[in-house]
Amino acid sequence: MPTQKTIATEVSVILGLLNTDWQSVCYDKLPEELKTSFSEDHYRQALDFYRKEPSLCNSLTEAGKKLKLHVPEFSDIAKIEWKGPSRLARSVISSQDILANNIPISVKVESNVVYNLSPENMFIAIPSGFLPRPDVGGNWYIKTAYDSFNRLYLTIKDVLGFSYDTVLEFEKKASKDERKRIQKFLKLNQKSSIYNVFMDAYTTMCQEVARESAHIFNDNISLSLKEHPKALFEVIAKIFLRLNGIPYLLVCMEKHTVSSLWVPDLTTFLKQYKILDVVAQADSTRRQSVVNILLRYTDKNKSSGGLSYHVEIRWSHGKFCGNPEAKLYKHFLWKEVPGFKVLCEVERSTRK
């Protein structure tokens, strides 16, 4: 289910395309095809968020209105759909939050997250030239740093009275309540010596996981460069740059500016730019599992550049709760990506 913020920000762009705004819109007067996915409950949630963040929503609405002036196909909106509640097919990589006159629009607001993946997809599938698959992989900590992961478990095994001799047994058999006990214990004992021992073991494990993950990524990249470089670079472009088989529009708020960008299709991009390499390196300065990634490219004039990312490997629901995830973050603005064309920009509104 989309959050209130997601609903409100995406629909704010839609209101701009319809040449209206939150202060004057009436749900009953919205286009019928829009209301098939944008329910009255969604409308109420969006209004609640708008009342809390009017300047944010107003800026996105203004961006939608300005986009109408720069995209001839939007001069008359004959059909508009909100894709928020629906899930796209696995083969569709680029976001399609809005479909206006059959032109896909993605909306990104104050976020550097590019993708949330499983570690197996991030460090094995993608650098091997394969698109991510859903629900892939087990516990990455077991795969990349089992001994350190086991030592981490043993620091709290006895004090919590667990009967499982190893972390492998714990992962196979432990209940949700037992996992929650770890969270509660850590929260209540942050000033204790056992907590310090646990965190030292956790840092050691994380740094080992980061080193091994970077090694696996680079090995797979090297092998793919020899065996199928074209397939590899297509997948890298799809994931790291969010390119797809068709061009689309990206409306993104970054650093208090809403930029509306034309994003080229995959084929057009790869004709104009060549990806030289993608290299991963563990970040030894962090107490989490962090892998830095640099994507280097060159254009037809042999002018080169680079885009920096990092991946955070971590439990998303608390330590020992589920398998760790691999979240890919960018270190740049979308408008700085080569080939992404800025159509128009709007500074964040201060109008209430």
Spell out the residues 6+ positions from residue 8 whose beta carbon is closer than 8 angstroms to its own: 45, 46, 47, 49, 50, 53, 57
Count Cβ atoms below 10 Å from residue 274 Cβ, excluding itself: 14
Count Cβ atoms below 10 Å from residue 169 Cβ, excluding itself: 13
The predicted structure's pLDDT at residue 89 = 42
User: Strand (E) positions, 161-288?
Assistant: 248-254, 257-263, 273-282
* Run means of pLDDT, 10 residues per run, the chain, 352 residues: 93 97 93 93 96 95 96 94 68 73 95 95 97 84 98 96 97 95 94 96 97 98 96 97 95 96 96 96 95 95 92 94 95 97 88 53
Residues 239-277 pLDDT 10s = 999 999 999 999 999 999 999 999 999 999 999 999 999
Residues 270-309 pLDDT 10s = 999 999 999 999 999 999 999 999 999 999 888 899 999 9
Spell out the residues 6+ positions from residue 76 whose beta carbon is closer than 8 angstroms to its own: none
The predicted structure's pLDDT at residue 91 = 41
The predicted structure's pLDDT at residue 184 = 94
For the whole model, what pTM was predicted? 0.92
